[in-house]
Amino acid sequence: MAFPTLRKHALSRRGLFFAVFLFVSVPIGLGDGSGSSPQVQETPPVKGKCKLGVGARSPRKSRKKDDRLHLQGVLVEGGAECQRFRADNGTFFTLEGDLHGFRTGDRVEITGVIPQLSHCMQDTPLRVISIEHAKPPSGGAPKN
């Protein structure tokens, strides 16, 4: 006994529906089979203390007056983005903030803090709190 033509079409529609249903319910891609996207990954917690880079500060540390640096030295040439400063101890800084008209060659005394972020491109950045003329170092003429 042969099935009528209508019956053949009905079976093929059910088969097609079943195939589409199976295809849609299967997760696509590799992974653990859960069907969830592996796009979000958590970084494992770090055990112990981490060392911060040079000049970096802990975000929990509050600014105190003892964070301020009091330096004497000379404003020198060579700053890419900011005025360069050579302290009497030989350390170079790049200054950000208002220099109140001081220029390269001036001997100054600076009070400032090392910022967490800076646009200065070299040396150690120093945010100027105050700047004024400084006396020449004891023992002779100023160093250049």
Dist CA 31 CA 139 (whole Å) = 73
Query: Could you give the C-alpha distances from 106 to 39, 101, 122, in angstroms and in order?
Result: 56, 10, 20
In which band, very low, low, confident or very high, does the pLDDT at 57 lie, cut at 50, 70 and 90? very low
For residue 17, give every residue at least 6 positions away whose Cβ sits within 8 Å of its Cβ, in sequence order, or none: none
Beta strand segments in the chain, E: 69-76, 83-87, 92-96, 107-113, 124-133
Mean pLDDT value across the chain: 74
Q: Does the pLDDT value for residue 75 go beyond 90? A: yes
